[in-house]
Amino acid sequence: MSKDKFDYYIEGEKNKYEVIIGLEVHAQVSSNSKLFSGSATKFGAEPNSQVSLIDSAFPGMLPVINKECINQAIRTGLGLNAKINNNSVFDRKNYFYADLPQGYQISQYKNPIVGEGKVLLDMPYGSKEIGIERLHLEQDAGKSIHDMDPTSTYVDLNRSGIALMEIVSKPDLRSPDEVNAYIKKLRTIMRYLGTCDGNMQEGSLRADVNVSVRKVGDKKLGTRCEIKNVNSIKFMQMAIEYESNRQVEMLDEGKKIDQETRLFDTKKNETRSMRSKEDAHDYRYFPDPDLLPLKIEQKLIDDLKKTLPELPDNKKERFINDYGLNSYEANVLVSEKDISDYYEEVAKLSDKKLAATWMMGDLFAMLNDKGLNISNSPISAKNFAELVRSIKSGEISGRIAKEVFEIMVESGENPKKIIETKGMKQQSDPKELEKIINEILTKNKDKVDQYKSGKEKLFGFFVGQVMKQSGGKANPQLTNEILKKLLKG
């Protein structure tokens, strides 16, 4: 559904409103060990098996920062076209909860590692720039499990201490669709960089959504409410719709919006206020005295920049300008680094446009069907390129190519071999084709007469017969040409 104009507004009883959205995305850093301890970070491990004395805050434990987590944050900042701060500070955010063993979270408050940046969204109504306010590193908390026992909560600290990047956007988003595009873009960039796997089901990516509304034309921002910990894009969109409508209703009734934190109830599809509001936000931030200020040398930033892979925006431009793909095709093929890598390999060895078509059609359909990622594709990029070449050269017809494709999926074999062995080469010799066509026409004289007297539909019948006779190998274009010629005469 393509729209040329942005049109997400809310018609209240009295006024038309626009929705202002800011996102705080929490992305788990891809690293072997945690931010301040040497415990593993793999998802799905036995409860409390990836927990060290530091993670569980035993007396006398001290944090030591993981070099790779710093690098990952810098890489992400570079991918967001953001300023990397040479000096940053780790602060303690103090509050009490069962899955926060220290009684504080090590985070960054006034001096984050990354400053302002931007992300480009591809919307149907044009390209839109979303500002990034900052990115900082912080510890993740553990997990509290409330539903395994009626009176107790079970606490698993595996996740406690894993490095998170908190990416704060400017309040530049204006619709659930833009939120969808933004999250997907962030995810793609981080997956390209290898800094976060973006797996929302495993909790690698979560967001707090800040929503406010204002009358169209107003310059001042309205009071915002924060919806915490939404862990799927669909829920984010639903939460935004509900919340913005709620606020519009209140404003049109002359009521004031309270600035508060809310939760999205996924069963009732509505947001509700979090009960314990008082003192909830006095985190008493202060610089962590167990850590010194973080200094990042310009050399490190430059070195990391040199080793960054080509990012989706640049790759997309190159696909359009150099490869002749259209915007839609380019978008799809850069959406995942694995896909673009595969495509690049195929495109190097065959027709770029045809390769794109066949990848987006048959290959993706097959992978989808089998629930596979392109990295697990039964058809290698090299072989796929060969197939595309065979089609382009006319060696096989498109129809036959589909058969060859199926065989390649099952056997993983090289298409040339399959074509040879099964004799699937396209019959493109006009003389041979004429022979076959004449045979068909002779055999079906009555139908020829009918065709000549006006039953044009029978053309398809003749084509079908030629295909049948040739075992599907007749070159369809030539067949059409020759048939037409012979039927005229």
Partner 1 sequence: MSIDKDKIKHISKLARISIDSKKSDLLAKDLTSIFKFIEQLNELNTDKVEPLSSILNTPLRSREDKIDDGKIREKILKNSPKNNEEFFVVPKVIE
Partner 2 sequence: MSEIIKKDLSEIIELIKKKEIKSEELTNLYIDKVNKSKKLNSYITTCFENAIQKAKEFDRKPNINSLLPGIPLAVKDLFCTDGFKTTAGSKMLKNFIPKYESTITENLWKEGAILLGKLNCDEYAMGSSNETSYFGNVINPIAENTVPGGSSGGSASALAANLTPATIGTDTGGSIRQPASFTGTVGLKPTYGLCSRWGIVAFASSLDQAGPMTKSVKDCSIMLEAMAGFDKKDSTSIEKKKENYSKNLKTDIKGLKIGIPKEYRVENMPKEIDELWNKGKNILKDLGADIIDISLPHTKYALPTYYIVAPAEASSNLARYDGVKYGYRSSKGNDLIEMYENTRSEGFGDEVKRRILIGTYVLSSGYYDAYYLKAQKVRQLIKKDFDENFGKVDAILTPSTPSSAFKIGEKTNDPISMYLNDIFTVPVNLAGLPAISVPAGLDKKGYPLGLQLIGKTLDEQNILNVAYAFEKNCNFKNEIKNWWL
Q: Does 96 bind partner 1 (CB under 8 A)?
A: yes
The answer for residues whose C-beta is within 8 angstroms of residue 116's C-beta and 6 or more apart is: 82, 83, 131, 132, 133, 134
Q: Does 67 bind partner 1 (CB under 8 A)?
A: yes
> Taking the complex as a whole, how short is the minimal distance between the CB of residue 97 and partner 1, in angstroms?
8
> Taking the complex as a whole, how short is the minimal distance between the CB of residue 275 and partner 2, in angstroms?
12
Q: How far is 126 from 4, CA to CA, in rounded Å?
A: 8
Q: How far is 110 from 477, CA to CA, in rounded Å?
A: 69
Q: Does 155 bind partner 1 (CB under 8 A)?
A: yes
- Identify which of 338, 473, 309, 457 has the alpha carbon closest to the alpha carbon of residue 399: 473
> Taking the complex as a whole, how short is the minimal distance between the CB of residue 38 and partner 1, in angstroms?
4
Q: Which of 1, 44, 96, 278 binds partner 2 (CB under 8 A)?
A: 96
- Identify which of 138, 122, 47 has the alpha carbon closest to the alpha carbon of residue 315: 122
73-92 binders of partner 1 (CB under 8 A): 89
Q: Does 454 bind partner 1 (CB under 8 A)?
A: no
Type of residue at 173:
L
Cα angle, residue 417 at apex, residues 414 and 418 outer, rounded to 5°: 90
39-68 binders of partner 2 (CB under 8 A): 53, 56-65
Q: Does 55 bind partner 1 (CB under 8 A)?
A: yes
171-230 binders of partner 2 (CB under 8 A): none
Neighbours of 425 (CB within 10 A): 15
Q: Which of 94, 266, 414, 469 binds partner 2 (CB under 8 A)?
A: 94
- Identify which of 171, 193, 169, 155 has the alpha carbon closest to the alpha carbon of residue 76: 193
Contact criterion met (CB below 8 Å) for 219 and 158: no
Q: Does 145 bind partner 1 (CB under 8 A)?
A: yes
- Identify which of 141, 174, 146 has the alpha carbon closest to the alpha carbon of residue 160: 141
Q: Which of 123, 168, 294, 332 binds partner 1 (CB under 8 A)?
A: 294
Q: Does 368 bind partner 1 (CB under 8 A)?
A: no
Using the rule CB under 8 A, give the single segment among 95-103, 253-261, 371-379, 443-451 that binds partner 2.
95-103
Beta-bridge mates of residue 264: 271
Q: Which of 6, 8, 43, 154 binds partner 1 (CB under 8 A)?
A: 154
Query: Residue 278, class by beta-carbon neighbours within 10 Å (0-12 exposed, 13-18 middle, 19+ buried)?
Result: exposed
Token representation of residue 415: 């298409």
Q: Does 300 bind partner 1 (CB under 8 A)?
A: no
Element of type H or E holding 123 = strand 117-123
Q: Does 106 bind partner 1 (CB under 8 A)?
A: no
Q: Which of 13, 149, 369, 446 binds partner 1 (CB under 8 A)?
A: 149
Q: Does 60 bind partner 1 (CB under 8 A)?
A: no
Q: Does 153 bind partner 2 (CB under 8 A)?
A: yes
Contact criterion met (CB below 8 Å) for 68 and 74: no
Where along the sequence are the contacts to partner 1 (CB under 8 A)? 31-33, 37-40, 46-56, 58, 64-70, 89, 96, 98, 144-146, 149, 151-157, 275, 279, 282, 284, 287, 289, 291-295
The site for partner 2 (CB under 8 A) is made up of 53, 56-65, 92, 94, 96, 98, 101-104, 153, 155, 281-282, 284-286, 289-292
